[in-house]
Homo-oligomer: A and B are copies of this chain.
Amino acid sequence: MRSIARGLGLGSAAMALTALTALAWPGTAGAAPTGTESLYAPSALVLGVTAGQDAGSGTVLRAVTLACSPTPGGTHPNPVAACAELRANGSRLDALAAPAADAVCTREWNPMTVTADGVWQGRRLNYTYTFANPCGFRNTTGVLFDF
């Protein structure tokens, strides 16, 4: 494989992709589903805001899309900054969702929940975070859930 790739003048990125495809589709390296995989691991998310604490059955009030590869895009109001935060934090989203340390909020129980569903760097992602009340959401640390 190595010598063939060199003979064709392919770079290490293409070789890595070939190896990845072969791993993902054992025995059918030349016959992946439709034949056009990207050089980039896919990253695309739907971010939602749900009334209440139950993201599974609650009413989703708003939702935006966020794609991060090959370039930031989607209906999120600030995809460039949101993708940068995701790259810096990986799938540890609590650090982005939780209210900022200096936020001043009341403490009544009027919960709302943010969700992130989709794919991050080639892995499926399902994330939820529940705020005690809307003040926490308005003071979320990152821009990821600021929409």
Interface residues of chain A, those whose CB is within 8 Å of chain B, are 20, 23-28, 31-34, 37-38, 41-46, 48-52, 55-65, 67, 73-75, 110, 112, 115, 117-119, 122-124, 126, 134, 137-138
Contact = CB atoms under 8 A, between A and B. Distances in A.
The complex is assembled from copies of this chain, and their number is 2
Contacts of A137: 33-34
Contacts of A110: 25-28
* Interface majority SS (helix, strand, loop, mixed), chain A: mixed
Max chain B C-beta neighbours (<10 A), residue from A46, A67, A75, A119: A46
Nearest to A38: B62
5 contacts: A20-B59, A34-B138, A41-B60, A42-B48, A42-B60
Contacts of A59: 20, 23-24, 122-123
